[in-house]
Amino acid sequence: MRRLLGGMDVFTRACAGWMSLMVLLAVVGPFLPLPDPREADFEASAVGLFSPGHVLGTDSNGYDLLSNVVNGARTSLMIAFVSVVVGGALGAAIGIVSAYRRGRIDRVVNLLFNIVLSIPNLVLGLALVAILATSSDPSVVISPSRRVVVIMIALTCVVLPVLGRIARGATLTWINREFVVAARSMGMRDRHIILRHIVPNVLPAIYSVGFLAVGVVIVAEGALSLLGVGVVDGVSWGAMISRVAGEFTFVPHSMYVPVTVLALTVIASNQLGDYLRSRLDLREGRL
């Protein structure tokens, strides 16, 4: 960790700082003394920055922007982290095992990855959300939390093959290294070889691409919201942007606030991913 921090330039440090701040807000957000992000202030709609009681102002409906940014971080980052972690873990596991086994399994897995990758990620996300968020029983309403879960599942499906392919590629390069070949010839069990020798070497690649994927997922959440299939009823950055997209000509700050936060977060996660990649000297493809 210290080694990683030591090599950071100012920009990367700022990015790491921003990312930490966002994660912190996501965690402690609900405990901060902020207005309820879902409750409008009937007396103060569309007030500007630094208004009394509303540090970042309110949008035209009277929702407190700071509260929405802070609480939105929770949803947006949770969606991003969950889909990247789950997608990354599953993808890495599948990718490593299939590359290690080679042969037919590997060909099938590779084909499956290619199949899912052949559908552009936003199109795939959109189709999955449209299909999964349709409730079968009219009396059962889809709750906001189920929507979040559906979006997570859809975006996990998007992330999985990307990271899976990276893991597979990285494994293929490590598998012929002397120490792996030696371990194999010594009759070491496959599980041990994978866990001891391959996973530690493949993980850095996953980390760096994972950071890039966080940015992609955050943007995808925003795009889905804008298309009307996001966390529309929840509190997220995408929901904020889609809510004010139509109004920023007359309440401009309500647009600039969430867009700035979202863009900074994406920049930060991209930079961190890039930094990790250069530190670990990886030359994998970008998302």
Partner 1 sequence: MLRLTVVSALRRLLQAGLVVIGATFLLSLLLRLLPVGLEDLYVVGENEASRKAFAHELRLDRDPFTYYVLWLWDFVRGDLGWYVQGGGLSEPVSGRLSRALPVSLQLVFYAQAVSLVVAVPLGIFTALRAGRRSDRALSYGLFTASSIPNFVFGLLMASFFGVTLAWFPPLGYVAPTENLGEHIRSMVLPVAALSFPLIATYTRLLRTDVIATLREDYVTMAVSKGLSTRRILFSHVLRPSSVTLFTSFALNMGALIGGTIVIEQVFTIPGIGQEIGIAIFSRQFFALQSYVALIAVGFIVFNMLADIVVGFVDPRTRERRSA
Partner 2 sequence: MTQQTTRRRLRALGVGIGLAVAMTAMASPTTSAAKVSAPTQGGDITVGIFNQLLSTCYSPNAANSALGVMRTVYEGLVEQRADGKIVPYLAESITPSADYKTWTIGLRSGITFHDGTPMNVQAVVTNLQAIRGLTAAALGRHTLGSGVPLVANIKDVRPASATAVTIELWNGQKDFDEWLYASGRFFMRSLSTMGNAQLCATSGKGTGPFMFQSVSPTEVKVVRNPNYWRKDKNGVQLPYLNSITFKYVNQAAQRVNGLKSGTLDAAGFTSAGEIKQIVNVQANPNVSTISSPDDYYAMNMFNTAIAPFNNKNARLAVAYAFDLDTFYNQRNCFKGKCVGTKPSSMVGKRNIMFNEAGFITYDLAKAKKFVAAYKAETGQDLAFSLPTDTSADSQASSKAFAQILKKAGITVTIATEDTATITAKAFPTPGTGLNPYQMYPTTLFEGTGAYFVLPFIQSNSFRAPGINIAAVVGAANAPTFLAFGALINPGRFSDPAQDTLVWTAQFDTTGTRVKNLKAVTKFMQENANVLPVPTIQYTYGFNKKLAGYDKFILASGGQGRAMTNAGPNWTGVYIQN
- In the complex, which residues of this chain contact partner 2 (CB under 8 A)? 38-40, 42, 45-46, 60-63, 134-135, 138-139, 141-144, 147, 227-229, 232-233, 242-250
What is the distance of C-alpha 213 from the center of its chain? 6
CA distances from residue 91 to 53, 97, 103, 239, 251 in whole angstroms, order as listed: 46, 10, 18, 28, 43
CB nearer to partner 1: pick between 58 and 271: 271
CB nearer to partner 1: pick between 34 and 148: 148
Contact 64, 58 (CB under 8 A): yes
Q: Which residues bind partner 1 (CB under 8 A)?
A: 11, 111-112, 114-124, 126-128, 130-132, 134-136, 215, 219, 222-223, 226-229, 241, 245, 248-249, 255, 259, 262-263, 266-267, 270-271, 274, 285-286
Min CB(205)–partner 1 separation in Å: 18
- What would the two tokens of residue 147 be? 């929507």
H-type helices in 49-138, by residue range? 65-101, 103-117, 121-132
Nearest to 25 by CA among 41, 13, 37: 37
**Residue 233 near which of partner 1, partner 2, none (CB within 5-8 Å, type-dependent):** partner 2
- Rounded to whole angstroms, the Cα distance separating 207 from 229 reads 29
**Residue 38 near which of partner 2, partner 1, none (CB within 5-8 Å, type-dependent):** partner 2
Min CB(115)–partner 2 separation in Å: 27
- Rounded to whole angstroms, the Cα distance separating 97 from 5 reads 32
Min CB(22)–partner 1 separation in Å: 14
**Residue 118 near which of partner 2, partner 1, none (CB within 5-8 Å, type-dependent):** partner 1
